[in-house]
Amino acid sequence: MINLLHATPSESALAAILADTAGHPSLPPLGSPEWSAARANPAITAWFAPLRARTESELTDPLPVLTDELYADFHKTGNRLPFERPYFERRRRLGRVALCLLLINETDSARPQFLASFLDKLAAIANEESWSLPAHVWTEPTGKNPWQIDLFAAETANHLAELLVVFASVIPADLSSRIRTRLHVQIFENYVNPRGPFTWLQITNNWNAVCHQGVLGAALAIEEDHALVARMLSLAASRLPFFLEGYGADGSTSEGPGYWSYGFGWFAELNAQLEHRTRGRLSLFHDDPKIAAIARFAPLMTLAEGHFVNFSDGGRTGRLSPSLLAYLGERFADPALSAQGASLYRHIAHTGVNLDELRRDFFNFSRLVLRTPPPDAFVANTSAEALAKEDAFFPDYGAVVARGTDSRGHLWEFAAKAGHNAEHHNHNDCGSFVLNIDGAPALVEIGAPEYTRSFFSDQRYENIAARSLGHPVPFVNNTEQPAGREFSSTVLATVINTDRVEFSADLTPAYPPAANLRSLRRDWIFEKTAGRLVITDTCELTAPGPVETMLITESPVTRDGESALITTTRAILRITPAAGTRITAIDTVPYRGHHGTDEKIHRLRLAAAASATRHHLSCVITVA
């Protein structure tokens, strides 16, 4: 096995490997035993009936229409959701009907209607003028550019290519030919000789991996010009390492578990496609310890009850993909990853599949179904699952995550970071932290707000979600942390014991000269059995001035004498200021949530009793 990123063969050698290993379908074709086995798996039948019912209700409904006005709307308003909602729903509906065709019985009387609906939806998406989102077609007022390869043009390319493979026996030849030609010209040849500025070719975030997966995955599935695919692989071998540079040697990424699922998840799927297509002769994973470390990062940053550690633009809620963890567990022979994947499969077998999730499309469904464990594997492996819930420190990221159960039975989950203010999907948040109690968020990070044009412009740090006043960090001399790599923090100490976690960071460089800051140290002490989190800021200024620290929650807050109470859905937290520290205000700040909803945070402001050059702010957090 050759790791393409470690030692890239010549293009002629790559073409020879592709020719030698041709004829291996990327996914099982319609009618294959794998789909029959899935049809009989109780873990799948548990959630398939609602999917079929939804699909039947949509059989004769036209897909939501992507009008010229919708394409142009982002250029006019800067709002993404009016276009994106119907765009992704079109792909979800295609995925639902495709899965029904694969899982219903061959003699099912509704099969002709499902097939007709599938072909209509396939043709409609194949015929879209532009597969890219208008938000990614930056300079075109129409919002359309068929030559722009963004995340979703790449995803669409992979969807269509794999559907051509799986449904080759029922897709009319003229439709298949049209799709193949468009993919060949607008995706494959366009990747080799770009017709536009593809900035993702050499960047270090999720775009690099996702776009490469869609483009290369589609080519590996259907392209018969081995020399062209060899050229694509050779180019990718010089470009994908940039993506891996975005991860620390410890496997961490500042994009967090949600974007890990997207960026590294799609990178992992590309590896699966490459190893499958070349029958194990080419790989992106082989003999790379850093990739093995990356595979373990997000499971360690996953919290109970469907929550994530969500610094920067990370999402607070969600679950990792069971099919991805199943694949990674098998590929790395890692029982903890396999056990967590199996746990997630048990979860969806019990609760069902959310058909309206953004990526609940054919790419998602096909992997979900084909990697579902057999019925006898649905037994909890508690010891292996516990390995994925251990405490962890990521020195390259400057972040710690810890969890424990107190003497009263409350589950505490705590994470904190040092970091810098030029991270992927950056927020100005050096010194931030989150705390969940009994599986419910108590002290929070907003994470990603609604994505609009202004949020990805020089106005980003006017948004409460990204500026430091929207984070539980110090506010020094009425000065926030600015954006930029130079505004950073350093981990001073990390001690992780069975019952006690200590984490300290120097936040001094995170503030500009206007803060008049000589030194600022933040210390966290998490005592598990006692059920107590102590946060202390020790600050020295060059001249007397105010220093505050913030706590952020979305739960109701009330005053109780000198303390404050935060009432979550599972517990009541008491915030007790130490001597010399007092709660000065509780602000309520509105913002727009990631899905366009009206949300708000409550911001507890703590300060010293008087303006001074030295400040020692501290509070104790307990369950009331």
Whether residues 272 and 340 share a domain: the answer is: yes
Tokens 């010209």 belong to 185
Closest-CA residue to 310 (of 361, 362, 259): 259
Name the packing angle between helices 151-166 and 362-370 (round to 10°).
Answer: 50
Question: Domain span at residue 593?
Answer: 392-623
Closest-CA residue to 390 (of 306, 248, 313, 501): 501
Whether residues 310 and 422 share a domain: the answer is: no
Closest-CA residue to 47 (of 2, 105, 96, 108): 96
Whether residues 383 and 396 share a domain: the answer is: no
Three state DSSP letters for 286-312: CCCHHHHHHHHHHHHCEECCCEECCCC
Whether residues 307 and 174 share a domain: the answer is: yes
Whether residues 417 and 364 share a domain: the answer is: no
Domain count across the chain: 2
pLDDT in tens, 295-336: 999 999 999 999 999 999 988 998 999 999 999 999 999 999
Q: Residue 196 has what pLDDT? A: 80
Q: Which of 387, 410, 434 is the last residue of a domain?
A: 387
Q: Which of 362, 387, 412 is the last residue of a domain?
A: 387
**Strand order from edge to edge, sheet including 411-417:** 392-394, 399-405, 411-417, 433-437, 440-443
Whether residues 161 and 310 share a domain: the answer is: yes
Q: Which of 344, 359, 387 is the last residue of a domain?
A: 387
Whether residues 370 and 412 share a domain: the answer is: no
- C-alpha span between 14 and 12 (Å, rounded): 5
- C-alpha span between 519 and 67 (Å, rounded): 56
Q: Angle at the Cα of 583 (from 582 to 586), degrees rounded to 5?
A: 170
pLDDT in tens, 381-414: 666 566 567 899 999 999 999 999 999 999 999 9
- C-alpha span between 266 and 210 (Å, rounded): 5
Beta-strand (E) ranges in 140-194?
A: none
Whether residues 248 and 396 share a domain: the answer is: no
The counts of H helices and E strands in the chain are 17, 23
Q: Residue 383 has what pLDDT? A: 60
Whether residues 303 and 346 share a domain: the answer is: yes
Strands 572-577 and 517-527 turn out to be unpaired
CATH assignment at residue 142: 1.50.10.100
Q: Which residues of the chain have pLDDT under 50?
A: none
Q: Would you call 238 helix, strand, or coil by DSSP? A: helix
Q: Angle at the Cα of 432 (from 429 to 435), degrees rounded to 5?
A: 145
CATH assignment at residue 523: 2.70.98.70
Tokens 């050499």 belong to 202
- The pTM of this model reads 0.92
Whether residues 468 and 351 share a domain: the answer is: no
Torsion angles phi and psi, residue 476, rounded to 5: -105, 120
Whether residues 332 and 414 share a domain: the answer is: no
Tokens 């420190």 belong to 393
Whether residues 338 and 268 share a domain: the answer is: yes
